[in-house]
Amino acid sequence: MKAKEWVKKFESGEELANLLKEYGVETAELVATRTKTSKPETMFPAAEGAVREQRVKFCAICTRVLTLKESMFDSVLATAIPEYDNWVKKAAQKKTEKPKDDVKDYRQKRK
């Protein structure tokens, strides 16, 4: 659903908790769509892109609906996709891991 359609829904007077849950479902569906054909090594970047897209849309909605705060997206995400935090932690861990011993530094090969 587009941001302007979400603005109308949030302004309609429906219960905020239900609307946030709906937005979480939409986010989860988008992540599932983007990651269903991904290989394990590309699953996180695909999910991260979908989450970023939904976060930007939520921020746009927040500018129009003053009862919403941008920080609410994190709780929506945690409820809708609880495994996302684990993906983030694993990706951060991979970035900080040292290279394996059997992989030589490219500078050593040039000598």
Do the domain assignments include residue 104? no
Number of structural domains (the chain) is 1
**Packing angle of the helix pair 16-35, 40-64 (nearest 10 deg):** 150
Do the domain assignments include residue 105? no
The pLDDT tens digits of the residues spanning 20-42 come to 999 999 999 999 999 998 888 78
CA dist 59 and 99 (Å) reads: 38
Do the domain assignments include residue 97? no
Do the domain assignments include residue 98? no
Predicted confidence at residue 5, as pLDDT, reads 96
Do the domain assignments include residue 63? yes
Q: What percent of the chain has pLDDT over 70?
A: 86
Contact 30, 52 (CB under 8 A): no
More reliable by pLDDT, 57 or 88: 57
CA dist 76 and 93 (Å) reads: 24
Q: Is the pLDDT of residue 18 over 90?
A: yes
- Which structural domain range is residue 53 located in? 3-90
Do the domain assignments include residue 95? no
Do the domain assignments include residue 76? yes
The pLDDT tens digits of the residues spanning 83-106 come to 888 888 887 887 776 555 555 555
Tell me the pTM.
Answer: 0.79
Do the domain assignments include residue 51? yes
